[in-house]
Chain A
Amino acid sequence: MLESTTSRLLEEFRSGDRRACGRLVSVVENEGRGAAEVLSELYPLTGRAFRVGITGPPGVGKSTLVEKLARLCRDQDRSVGIVAVDPTSPFSGGAILGDRVRMPSLFTDPGVFIRSMASRGGLGGLAMRTREACDVLDAFGYDFIIIETVGVGQIELDIASTAHSTVVVLVPESGDAIQMMKAGLMEIGELFCVNKSDRQGADRLALAIESMLGLRSSQDGWKPPVVKTVGTSGEGVDALLAALERHRSYLVESDLMSARRKFRVRVEIKELVEEKLKQKIWSRPEVDARLAGLVDEVMSESSTPYRAAAALLEFIRADSREEV
């Protein structure tokens, strides 16, 4: 059951109130009471937006590119939702969310909504609830949703399963052909963007990416384009947007859009079940007490973590049988 404050928020949200939109993002971000019900209510309204992920190492110009992409979408009269993720400090739990610094021209545009998120324990380059935040913006009616990841290294790849199209942004200094062959980041790009391409080495990097892509065993028949841009001037951003549109059409025509959606729904349900199960298990005081005993056994060297885990699993199994 929805609480009255939440249902009032939903009502305001449906009438297009931006404050309500901001607040609902907080509700899902904080997994507050009623978050699951809110997302259920909004679910029928989602699925219309095109979700684009922008990822790449720190300082390659992701935020600047996002601003230019959003501007271009606005020129075409499309509304834009932006979710920009920055890292949470593992020491203090605090965060500086500074992606907006590169986007001031969008702040007062009624067709744009920007939400900064702290990664809060998300290790894949996104926050734990980035997908849900995108769902809220999608339900609010934004046509084009841009997700900007934290500056990533090589293996923070959650964006690939969250966005429809993932753009990997690099700069001329990003590395040579060997770097381009490595696993991880380079495998998830559906588009590649060589930003700051007014600098020396841009053509060489573009070529290295192209030849890497030539070697890539293509699973789905899409050959990722390599686009050169200069974020500060906006040069090449039109080509980037055009390439994104081509990818979108390709996804729709090849039926991959719905195949991926199906896959995502499956993953989402599994994750939700896992979370619930985890919560259910660890919130039981009996389990906690048994765990404490097993920890002591390992500490006193009368057991090992492996044996302890097996014993705890057995305990949980027996315990839940009793419950049923």
Chain B
Amino acid sequence: MARKLRILMAKPGLDGHDRGVKVVARGLRDAGFEVIYTGLHQTPEMIAETAIQEDVDAVGMSILSGAHMVLIPETMRLLKEKGAGDILMFGGGIIPEEDKKELYKMGCGKLFGPGTEIREIVDFLKEKFPDRT
């Protein structure tokens, strides 16, 4: 039986702008995915632990605070440390192109910006996990 795609939508750091993450979570739900949402102000440690307990396929980080160069690599590092480096990291928010390049080099999956259509995110995830529903 094909298993459902499980996605953790995480809102790390101190910014409280959660409209984007909620819209994406809702959109992924409507695409048939199981979306775990944990609320605001998550630390990388909380996100990595949650990803492991929930056995998600991917973690989507929503960051509008400008702290992405710290929060994304740190979360990836913790996942790796906990033996879960295979969990796909992706994200969205206000992330400058040069930072994106840097993060992609570290192995981060796609980072989406403002104006992205939900369909693009759904397509990206479906392509990454063709054996999931």
Contacts and interface: CB of A to CB of B under 8 A. Distances in A.
B99 interface: no
Contacts of A26: 3, 6, 55
A241 B83 CA distance: 35
Interface residues of B, number: 33
Contacts of A25: 55
Given A95-B34, A96-B35, A108 B45 contact: yes
Interface residue SS majority, chain A: mixed
Interface stretch (A16-24, A48-56, A212-220, A308-316): A16-24
A98 B18 CA distance: 14
Contact of B53 (A17, A18, A101, A120): A18
Interface stretch (B25-33, B59-67, B69-77, B110-118): B25-33
A42 interface: no
B25 A96 contact: yes
A116 B4 CA distance: 13
A104 interface: yes
B55 A116 contact: no
Contact of B49 (A21, A92, A98, A108): A108
A32 B3 contact: yes
Interface of A: 17-19, 21-23, 25-26, 30-32, 88-89, 92-98, 100-101, 104, 107-108, 113-116, 118, 120
21 contacts: A22-B54, A22-B55, A23-B55, A25-B55, A89-B29, A92-B31, A94-B30, A95-B29, A96-B29, A96-B35, A97-B54, A100-B37, A100-B39, A100-B50, A104-B42, A107-B42, A107-B45, A108-B46, A113-B53, A115-B54, A118-B34
